[in-house]
């Protein structure tokens, strides 16, 4: 069973280090608006703000060129991305390029150092709330695989909420992603998205 929880609501009578919670007097409280799944003891946020972690895949837009082959990347309202490129990497980037990178280092929760860049060309960028990213990926990437297969698009998903889509049918994919964003909390989502894309309703 899932039920709504609110900031300040006690969700467990014992201390437990769950995401989006805090512990006070040996009890666990929610910090956010979310759904608590009693069977798995997990708290699913309905909206969240990205907290960078090592190895997170992130998508951003090159905003300026730094020193020693580094670039500044716009990835979030306040977290700065710095993209490091390998000397052997002949790829050059220009302001406005959309790039995917992997978080290598986090400095004071405010700057993330990114490596392993990949230029994302000819697609478009959209943004969804980061709380919906796990749903967009699906269990073992089932949802995103389904989505790319059925729409014949390429999709890259950044943990920071940016989603890049390329292909003829990108509008169908966007439609599906917006629906995932809207209905992420309603069970049976995978089937609904599948129906939607297969039936071309």
* Position among 18, 23, 42, 46 found at the interface with other proteins (CB under 8 A): 46
Query: Measured in whole angstroms, how far is the alpha carbon of residue 60 from the centre of its chain?
Result: 12
Would you count residue 36 as binding other proteins (CB under 8 A)?
Answer: no
CA dihedral 36, 41, 47, 48 (to 10 degrees): 150
Among 55, 121, 139, 188, binds other proteins (CB under 8 A): 188
Give, for 189, the enclosing helix (H) or strand (E).
helix 189-199
The neighbour count for residue 201, using CB atoms within 10 Å, is 6
Four-point Cα dihedral 192, 46, 33, 11, nearest 10 = 70
CA–centroid distance for 66 within its chain: 26
**Nearest CB to other proteins, comparing residues 35 and 118:** 35
Shortest distance in whole angstroms from residue 77 CB to other proteins: 4
48 contributes a contact to other proteins by CB under 8 A: yes
For residues 32 and 177, which CB has a smaller minimum distance to other proteins in the complex? 32
**Going residue by residue from 79 to 98, which x/- string records binding to other proteins, judged by CB under 8 A?**
-x------------------
d(CA 19, CA 179): 25
Residues that bind other proteins (CB under 8 A): 4, 6-8, 10, 20, 22, 29, 31-33, 45-49, 51, 77-78, 80, 108-110, 129, 131, 182-183, 185-186, 188, 192
């Amino acid at each position: 069973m899932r039920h709504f929880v609110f900031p300040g609501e006690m969700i467990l009578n014992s201390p437990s280090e769950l995401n989006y919670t805090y512990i006070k007097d040996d009890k666990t409280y929610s910090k956010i608006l979310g759904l608590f799944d009693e069977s798995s003891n997990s708290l699913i946020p309905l909206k969240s703000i990205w907290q960078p972690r090592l190895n997170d895949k992130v998508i951003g837009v090159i905003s300026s060129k730094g020193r020693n082959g580094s670039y500044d990347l716009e990835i979030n309202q306040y977290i700065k991305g710095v993209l490091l490129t390998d000397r052997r990497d002949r790829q050059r980037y220009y302001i406005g390029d959309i790039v995917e990178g992997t978080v290598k280092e986090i400095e004071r929760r405010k700057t993330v150092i990114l490596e392993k860049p990949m230029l994302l060309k000819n697609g478009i960028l959209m943004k969804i709330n980061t709380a919906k990213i796990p749903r967009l990926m699906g269990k073992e990437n089932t949802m995103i695989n389904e989505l790319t297969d059925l729409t014949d698009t390429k999709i890259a998903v950044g943990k920071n909420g940016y989603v890049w889509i390329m292909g003829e049918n990108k509008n169908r994919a966007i439609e599906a992603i917006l629906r995932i964003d809207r209905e992420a909390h309603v069970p049976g989502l995978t089937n609904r998205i599948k129906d939607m894309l297969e039936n071309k309703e």
